[in-house]
Amino acid sequence: MTRWWAALIALAGAVILAIVATTPPGPVSADAPATDFSAVRAMADIRVVGRAPHPTGSVQDARVRAYLIARLKGLGLEVATATGTMSPQAKKRLDGWRKTIEPAPPLTNIVAILPGRDRTQPAVLLMAHHDSVWGSPAAADDGAGLASVLETIRAIKAGGQPRRDLMVLLTDGEELGLEGANAFFATDPRRAHIGVIVNLETRGGGGRATMFETGSDNGAMMDLFGRAVRRPVSTSLSVFIYKKLPNSTDLTVAKKLGYPGFNFAFIGRAGLYHSPLATPEALDQGALQDMGRQTLDLTRALADAPTLPGRAADRTFFDAYGLAFVSYPAALGWLFLVLGALSYAAATWRRATVGEVAKGAGMLLALIVVAMAGLYIVNGISGGWGKVNYYDRLAAIPRLQIQALLVCLAAFLTIRRWLPSRVGSIAGAAIPLLVLGVVMQVAAPTASYPFAIPLMLGGVALAIDRYAGRSVGIAATIVAAMLGVGYMLGFAFFLLQAVGPGMPMVAAIPLAISAVLLLPLMPASRRALMVASALLVVATGIALWVLLDPVAPSAATYNDTKK
C-alpha cells in the first residue's frame, strides 16, 4: 500500500493544518466596527501600561493604576479601589528585587462595575493584574490582559447594556504571589456578586491564545464556550495537565473557593516572559487579537445569558486546528477506542500473523524508547541537565523545537527501516497506543482524545483499504494521516512551548501516533540510516549552539544570569 506520493500529499496537508492551528490571526484595524475587538485600538492602552517596569509599590505602578482608573471611568464604569496588606513572603520577594529592606507598600486592587439591565443576576468578572515583575515593562504580562479587558468592555458597551453586571478586578501583587487576588477573595464583600470569572494572563509575547484552565464540573460552561467563541483554542488535555502543574494565576485563588471560570493565556515568544525586552513594540499584535476576540466572544455570551450554566460533568473537548470546536461526553472516548480497535482487527482479519502483529507492536515501543532517549540526550547536550537559567531556556525554545523535530524524524526513519510494510505490522504498531488510550480513558477520560481520535481514523482508513479497494483505501489513508499528523504537529508545537526546555521527551508520544498513521503510506528507504545520522548531527549542532551562546538578553533582570 505504500506510496511516496501519497505520503508527500499527507505530509503537505498535515503541515498546512499545523500552520493554521498555530498561527494567530492578524490584528484588526482601529476602524473596525465598534462592537468588534481591535488589537490596534487595544495597543493604545498597552503603550501606556508597558512604558516602564511597574512592580507593586513603585511610582510607575501608581501611574498605571491612575491611568486604568481614568480609562474605566471614561468607559462609564463605577470604579473603586481596595487596599490590603502584603504577606511577609511577598515583602521578602519585593525586598529581594529592590536589593533593600523597606516598609511594605499597601496592595491596591481596582474594582469596577458596568451595570447590567438586571443587577440581581450574578455578575461576570473580568480579571487581570496591573503589577509587573522587577525590570520588565510587561507589555504582555499583564499589559495584554489589561488592554483586552478594556477593549472588551468598550465593545460590549457599544452593543448596548448587557443583561447582567460586568465586573472588573485588576489585582495588585500577582507577581509577588497572587497577593491582590488573595486579599479580594478573602474579605471583599463584592466577591459574593460574582457568578463566573474570565482571567487573562500571558507567559511570553505571542502565539495563539489558549483557554487552558476551567473550574471543575465544566460541562455546561464548555457547551456555552463552544457555541460562543469563534476560532477557539482550548483542550481538555491542557485543563487536565494544568491541574497537575505547580503553576498558579489569580484564578487559582478563586477556583479553590469553587468559582467557575476560564483562564486565557498565550505562551509564544517565550523569551519575553518577565523580560526587560517585553516592550509594546515586541508584542505580537496577532496574539493580542486572538486573546481579545476570544475573550469578547465568551464575555458577551456570559453577560447576556438568561442564566449562567450550572455544574455538569466535565466534557472532553479540543479545537480542530483552531478552526472549530469539538466537544463530547467523556465516556464517548470508549466508543472511539473500541471503533479504532475493531477497525484494525477487521483490516487484519485472516491477513496477518501473530508474529507480524507482535513485531509491529515491538517496533512502535522501540520507537518511543529510542525517541525519548535521543530527546533526553540531545537536550542534555544543549544544557538541559542540572541547574539551568530558566529564562535563558525559554528564549531557546524555537531552537529546542527544531532540535526535537530532527531527533524525532531520525528516530522514525531508523525504526521504519526495520518495520515491514504489512498490514499486520501496521495494526500491531497501533496496539501499544490503544493500550495507552485505554489507560488514559480509565485514569483521565477527558485527556484520552489524542489517542482515541487519531487511532480511530487510522483504523477506519486501514479497514476501508481492505474492503473498499486500493484507490479508495489510499485516499482514506491520506485523509486520516493528514488530519491526525496535522493535529499532532500542532499539539507537539504547543507541548514543547509549554514543557520543552525541561521535558522534550513528551514529543515521543505525538511522534508515535503520527508514525502509526504514516506507516501505511511511507515506504522504508535504504538510505534511512544515513539520513537519520545526518539529522542527528544537525540536532547536536543546534544543541551545542544553545549550550555555548551567551545568556539571552531577554532573561529577567532579577534572575541568576549564569548559563
- pLDDT value, residue 561: 55
Return the amino acid letter for 62. Answer: A
* CA-angle at 38, arms to 37 and 41, nearest 5°: 125
pLDDT one-digit tens code per residue, 3-20: 788 999 999 999 999 999
pLDDT one-digit tens code per residue, 75-127: 999 999 999 999 999 999 999 999 999 999 999 999 999 999 999 999 999 99
- pLDDT value, residue 478: 96
* 480's grid cell: 486520516
Contact 197, 256 (CB under 8 A): no
Q: Where are the domains of the chain?
A: 26-329, 331-548
Distances in Å between the Cα of 83 and the Cα atoms of 10, 163, 287 are 58, 30, 32
The domain 26-329 is classified under which CATH number: 3.30.1180.10, 1.20.1290.10, 3.40.50.170, 3.40.630.10? 3.40.630.10
Biggest CA–CA distance in the chain, Å, is 80
Which parts of the chain register pLDDT below 50?
A: none
Helix, strand or coil for residue 14? Answer: helix
Neighbours of 158 (CB within 10 A): 11
CA atoms within 13 A on the CB side of 148: 36
Residues 6+ apart with CB under 8 A from 146: 45, 46, 49, 68, 128, 130, 170, 200
- pLDDT value, residue 526: 81
The continuous run of DSSP H or E covering 532 comes out as helix 528-548
